[in-house]
Structure 1
């Protein structure tokens, strides 16, 4: 047998194991509300190849690919336990088991590592929480995809309705088509049907009512059986407390804005300050995509090195508020053709840092350039640190933050020397550190941070909604068993 034959045989064995993992992962989610992760990446609804590719990511930990042959025993052990709602990381289990010197079996170690989610310690499954989308544009449709994707157990967030302005003949059919096919993010993973008479879109069995209204004050959500819902405003039309309070109609308990909030509206970046949300807070903002991209790495750098001052320059994909061709626009430069020009514009991300990181005393300035790509942006974060360091130290620190810290769902890390913007379409992280572009000179550090300003931001929005709804479950194992 040749070396190539050996490689192919090994691949087929791993394919077979990954195939056997799929029903176990699905059953844990459906029956017990357990989400199986691999180093913070969900394995739920992954294909065979998707599971194998996710395992390959683990080579960033110790330079070696983590194999399904190593993680499958932990997954099998989980199926024997009396688990409650939780997120369980197979990658962390495998890594910690290798370092454990007590001679425990995989089953014994797993039971101990996830003890907080079993037996008398487990959290009871919660009733599903209704969600309403107000507006159904780029962010609205991506949030809808995520909500449908995460509805597998039936005990999490449940998308009940979208609210839009009437658009004429076959409006609902056209909106369903936009949900089904996306030029950037590809096909919807599942099936979508439309009932025009009932004004509903059915996505993977989820019945979503389409409500037509020109103003929030025209809607009584209880008429549609919606109770205590979280409404996500994707329009950005109202950004202060007074305006957003219009959404607090019968059936709506909380309002989440997918744009920077003004005045006393809390700006929340999940992973950084989501734990500051007061239980009785009814209105909050998820800030902007750029704020979500820069705040987590900024916090990480300040925690370790101290930040005295900084400047962020965002090279941002064009958005729907720009003109395709030169035409009138209330903002002078944004009136020029988006697909044909680089456009200097403003960003509120730097000033929004103070809301998300009130303990950061450093002055952060910012500016932005819109460029002719439809998605994925890069933030260049130039920092003056409180102490001198080296490129190697910062490199290793940010790599470790992306793998094991509380910010691992927000910060990713890539070492590929040929990475370009389109590689990050569909990234679920708020930002991705480009290791090859990192620059450090004494007390000056320059971080290059990629981010999918559509999908990565939508993931952050859903995380905030999960948190305020009470369906954000704890992750096991902890950093130490």
Structure 2
């Protein structure tokens, strides 16, 4: 497979294939290429259904994060960016990707629904598969900061959803420190590619058939169900809903909880909680969503938005649902790779 060869010019400790080059696939590659901490990751190949020149263009110019520093070119089957030459493939089945001696396949297609396809990737040489979203076929769903100690030797892992990554670490810490009685979360979520830009039939959720860039759209979220999976001790204690809003990036969690032993000063308690958890950040200034773009934390708490009445506390936090989630994908990928080393 000479056409798949990618020259190693750095000290490489992890070899990955990115299967699916949509929003998350592109943001993951952008982080790999622009973050010095990821210089040791070799991207063996990128694969997508779209034509390579279109993929290269969408990677070069991004409506959310801006042009990639240094530019991007595509020539002779290679995506050239940040001094690297990465094979860019079109429409290759997962099992037919160049998977020999590959540590992980990062499946970012949103379309991996059958276990047989994942197993075929393992048979073809990949050591593990990490899925960028909720999955019924995964061995386990892992959220860093919530249940990463459960990863074990699972070879097909789900990275949950962006909202679950924002919520689960906070819930775990609240329950550990103060005892969670119950809670309700509303995610104020930017529109995504699952919504039409103009009114159009997209599915059974009628409100989600309306133009996402001009209206707030009440809908559901998978986060509450996934919390039960990630934190089974909290099963049945947290409900969730969503409102899609006309913003292109950065979402928010609005959480109301009842605690057994609520802290006397909730805002100060949240600051301490964030300082102790590497995936939870803080913002003290009165910010709006655009100010949180490209923050790597799973959740950025705004303690000044905290309200308390008796044992009930309202907590507000921001999360970049693309950048933060992609950072967690790379975190979990490293955890999977480092097992047993």
Asked whether the two chains share a fold, i.e. TM above 0.5, the reply is: yes
Correspondence 1:189 to 2:69: yes
Q: Deviation digits for residues 320-379 of structure 1, max 9, x if unmatched?
A: 011010111123221111111111111110110122212335611111111111111111
Asked which structure has the greater RCO (Cα within 8 Å, sep 6+), the reply is 2
1:429 matched to 2:297? The reply is: yes
Structure 2 residue 24 is matched with structure 1 residue 139: yes
Please say which structure displays the higher CA radius of gyration: 1
Secondary structure of residue in 1 paired with 2:145:
coil
What is the match of residue 402 of structure 1?
274
Q: Is the 8 A contact 1:308 1:362 kept in 2?
A: no
Within 1, Cα distance between the matches of 2:254 and 2:209?
25
The residue matched to 2:127 in structure 1 has which SS? strand
Aligned to 2:86: 208
Which residue matches 1:353? 227
Counterpart of 2:5 in structure 1 is none
CA contact (8 A) 2:141 2:159 kept: yes
Confirm or deny that 1:462 pairs with 2:330.
yes
- How far apart, CA to CA, are the structure 1 residues paired with 2:253 and 2:181? 19
Contact preservation (8 Å) 2:17, 2:43:
yes
- Correspondences of 1:410-425 after superposition (within 5 Å): 410-416=279-285, 418-425=286-293
Distance 1:214 1:337 in 2: 33
Q: How does 1:2-401 map to 2 (within 5 A)?
A: 127-150=12-35, 156-165=40-49, 167=50, 171-195=51-75, 197=76, 199-213=77-91, 215-217=93-95, 219-221=96-98, 226-239=100-113, 241-262=115-136, 265-279=139-153, 281-331=154-204, 332-360=206-234, 363-390=237-264, 392=265, 394-401=266-273
- Cα deviation 1:135-171 (Å, max 9, x = unaligned): 10111100011122346785x3211111112x4xxx3
Contact 2:12 2:41 in 1 (8 A): no
Structure 2 match to 1:113: none
| Separation of aligned partners in 2, 1:361 and 1:354 | 4
Offset at residue 263 of structure 1 (A): 5.4
Partners of 2:228 and 2:236 within 8 A in 1? no
| CA distance in structure 2 between the aligned counterparts of 1:220 and 1:243, rounded to whole angstroms | 12
Superposed CA RMSD: 2.3
Distance in 1 separating the partners of 2:189 and 2:28:
20
Higher helix share: 1
Q: Deviation at 1:264?
A: 5.5
- Report the CA distance shift for 1:432/1:221 in structure 2 as closer, same or farther (over 3 A): same
> Following TM superposition, by how much is the alpha carbon of 1:470 offset from its aligned partner in structure 2, in angstroms?
1.9
Deviations 1:179-233 (A, max 9, x none): 12211111213343322x2x1112222221112225324x1415xxx51330111
TM-score, normalised via structure 2 length: 0.90
The whole-number CA distance in structure 1 between the counterparts of 2:329 and 2:233 is 23
Cα deviation code 1:26-49 (max 9, x no counterpart): xxxx99xxxxxxxxxxxxxxxxxx
Bigger shift: 431-440 or 186-195?
A: 186-195
Secondary structure of the structure 2 residue equivalent to 1:365? strand
Q: Distance in 2 between matches of 1:240 and 1:445?
A: 41
Q: Which runs of 5+ in 2 are unaligned?
A: 1-8
Q: Distance in 2 between matches of 1:322 and 1:142?
A: 20
Runs of 5+ in structure 1 lacking a partner? Answer: 1-29, 32-125, 474-481
Alpha-carbon distance between aligned partners in 2 of 1:300 and 1:177, rounded to the nearest angstrom: 42
Aligned mates of 2:260, 2:137 — CA distance in 1: 31
Query: What is the TM-score with the length of structure 1 in the denominator?
Result: 0.65
Length, aligned pairs only: 331
* 4+ runs deviating over 6 angstroms: none
CA distance in 1, matches of 2:137, 2:58: 34
